[in-house]
Amino acid sequence: MNLCEARAILFSAIEGGTTYWVREIEFLGPLAVVEKLRTGGYDPIKFEKTISKVREANPAEILDRIAVTGSRFITPEDEHWPLSLNDLAAPPIALIVKGAIDALHALSLAIVGTRNPTNYGVRIAGDFAAGFVDREWVIVSGGAYGIDAAAHRGALVAEGITVAVLAAGIDVNYPAGHARLFAEIAETGALVSEVLPGSLEIPARFLTRNRLIAALSKATLVVEAAFRSGSLRTARDAAELMRPVMAIPGPITSPTSEGCHRLIGERAAEVVTSVVDAVEFVTSFR
C-alpha cells in the first residue's frame, strides 16, 4: 500500500472536514492511520462505522471508480495539490478534480450567494465574474442554482476559467438542471468534489464544501444572501482564513440582501460597488 492508496481508503471512509481525523492523519501519516484503524487501535464502538469502512475498502477499486469518471484523485503529496487548502483547520484528505487542475492554482475569486436571487443579483454576479475574468482571475463557486450559476455563466460568457466545487460526487449532476453547465465548466475550468463518485448531496456536505470554496480562492464576494444563508458560512470561513471578504449591498427592503447587510454591519465584509473597487480592495491585500 502506498500513500495514495492509503489516502484513497481514508477518503472513502471519512467524511470531509472532520478535524479529529485530519489531525490524526497529519501527526501519524495516512499509512499509520489506516494500519491503526485496521488493527483496532481506535475505540471500536465510537469509530465502528469508520473502522468497518476502512476494513472493507479496496483502494484499487476506489481509484478505478474515480478514473472511470474521467477525473483525477489528488492528494496533499501530489505536486498539483492546491497549497491554499492547507490553511484550513481541516484540509481535505484528498480531492477529486475533473478538468484543468491548473485552474486551482490561479488567482481566484469566490462568488457566492442565494439560490433565489433577484435579477439584480444575477446581473451583478455575472458582471463581477466577467469583470474579474477580464483581469485574468479565475472564478470559484458552488454548483447551485442562482448566484452560483450566474457567476459561472458570467465567467464563461467572458471566455474565462471557472471552478465549481460540488457537494455531491463528481459524476452526480446536482442539481440535474446544471448537467450542461458542469460539462461546459469542465471544458476549460475544473469541477472539484470532496466525496466519492456517486455520493449524494446531503445538507452537511454543503457546509463542508463551503470551506473549500473559501480556501481555494484569494478573496470571497457575497452577492446576495438571505439572513440565514449558507453563503454567510463561506464568508465566515474566508474571514477565518484571513482572506478578504466583500459584499454587494442592495436595497434594505430586499430580503435577499439581508445577509450581505449583516456582514457589512458586523464589519465582516467590505462594501464593494464596482468591479474596479473590488479589484483595488483585493489587490491591496497582497
Binding site for another protein (CB under 8 A): 114-116, 118-120, 123, 126, 130, 145-146, 153, 157, 226-227, 253, 255-256, 258
Give me the helices (H) in 47-178, please: 48-56, 59-68, 119-134, 147-157
- What is the C-alpha to C-alpha distance for residues 218 and 220, in angstroms, rounded to an integer? 7
Shortest distance, CB of residue 129 to another protein, whole angstroms? 11
Looking at beta carbons only, is 96 or 225 nearer to another protein? 225
Stated as kind and residue range, the H or E segment containing 69 is none
Q: How far apart are CA 233 and CA 142, in angstroms?
A: 13
> In this structure, are residues 8 and 73 in contact, taking their beta carbons and an 8 Å threshold?
yes
CB of 217 to another protein, least distance (A): 23
Q: Which three cell numbers stand for residue 270?
A: 467590505
Comparing CB distances to another protein, the nearer of 143 and 244 is 143
Q: Is 10 left (phi over 0), alpha (psi -120 to 50) or beta?
A: alpha
- In the complex with another protein, the residue whose CB is nearer, 40 or 177, is 177
Query: Shortest distance, CB of residue 192 to another protein, whole angstroms?
Result: 23
| Nearest CB to another protein, comparing residues 15 and 127 | 127
The distance of closest approach from Cβ of residue 235 to another protein in the complex, given in angstroms and rounded to an integer, is: 18
